[in-house]
Chains A and B, each alone.
Chain A
């Protein structure tokens, strides 16, 4: 997980509202480091890593791509992708750009849904960053594990 000395600057960047209208930290007052650490503590006892979550998100994103509208995946998940023009830069200033397109998944067993943008996959995968509480693009790890039925990888 990349955590350079520039963390403070990155955090300011995220709070500024200059990267995206809905900030990355939401109403969260904890530091960026604390936010990342707490989400990791949620995952550890489940034996699930941030990469496991990113991989599962990527799996559904690929299934939803192609513009066919609502699709059912593995009989359990209803997936849909909203394609948007344009890329958004990663707030960790690592020169990574991700598409603004959004993927939605509904678990037909439970009726619960989650959604994410392509940038979220990169943030979870590379930075272990699920975003702050109250951020509209927050990937709540516990919720994602349940809705996407993510199992421990080992």
Chain B
């Protein structure tokens, strides 16, 4: 009885102490209501001070791109502080250039809201929403790539530009205790606005891709935020050179279909680079498009074909194949999507051909 009583009173004491600590913390860090002015009055928010700018904005349904969920490891969540609230933190330094520092650019996950703030963000960010979806179809495209189709539940439609991406939220599974969000380019067309499709390559030991490939089934509910990114069709260019590898086919598919659907007067050449035959997918799909449309050419190429691949198409590094088929940069734009290695190599080759840097587009990461 006494033992029980002691235990009880001890745990009550502990609870009271904990409450005092929480209260003290609350009092000490009570920044009250803070106002956030966005884009010179375009939006004005009131939030409880004390949280990061990133999460404060998210709590008011303004989503800034972020792939690491506020850990200052992706460098995506940049906003401009019109009035400085302190120096750039060491955690932000790797991501902020000298020019950005001068312009007041900060990582919103590293700025704590403690006072009224005036910030600037791209107008497109106002269009970013959090979506609840149901996985309506999963298709195996290659040995390590799956396609996911998501039916939008709430909101029921999405307004995006072909080439943009969304951020899928994973859920804890197995020994993975935390949810992460990762960027995936939309492969479906904007006109089909009640679904999105993503093409996802399994990364060995990857948190989000293992979740999607091995723990998600048709019928499951998944959330994402979007759309993000400026990898969409830009003005200028009579001929568009698309170059992709691996899962990089996704945004290119969306762009090509969107341009064909809108009957834009553009010529398109789509180079898809893979190592072996087994890494090619959507082969028949793009071959059929090529047959049907005079303004679309499809050039798949293998860099490591073996006799068993029975491949009679283009061979060699995708950069060499591009160099063979693109004579000059005259009235051309290039859109690239793939691994950083592929993108670097392509930028080099395109520059040699005569492309200026502002005629080459890709997602920075």
Residues on A close to B: CB < 8 A?
16-18, 20-23, 65-70, 81-87, 89, 95, 97, 99-102, 136-137
Contacts and interface: CB of A to CB of B under 8 A. Distances in A.
Given A17-B176, A85-B340, A102 B204 contact: yes
Nearest to B248: A85
B345 interface: yes
Contacts of A18: 176-178, 180
Contacts of A65: 341
B206 interface: yes
A65 B245 CA distance: 14
A21 B304 contact: no
Interface residues of B, number: 43
B109 interface: no
Given A68-B303, A84-B339, A87-B73, 6 more contacts: A21-B176, A23-B175, A67-B303, A85-B246, A86-B203, A101-B339
Majority-rule SS of B interface residues: loop
Interface of B: 67-68, 71, 73-74, 90-91, 93-94, 174-178, 180, 182-183, 201, 203-207, 210-211, 245-248, 273, 275-276, 303-304, 317-318, 338-342, 345, 365
Contacts of A102: 204
B71 A89 contact: yes
Majority-rule SS of A interface residues: loop
A142 to B, nearest CB: 22
A95 B89 CA distance: 12
B303 A69 contact: yes
A97 B73 contact: yes
B339 A70 contact: no
Given A86-B365, A95-B94, A69 B275 contact: yes
A23 B177 CA distance: 11
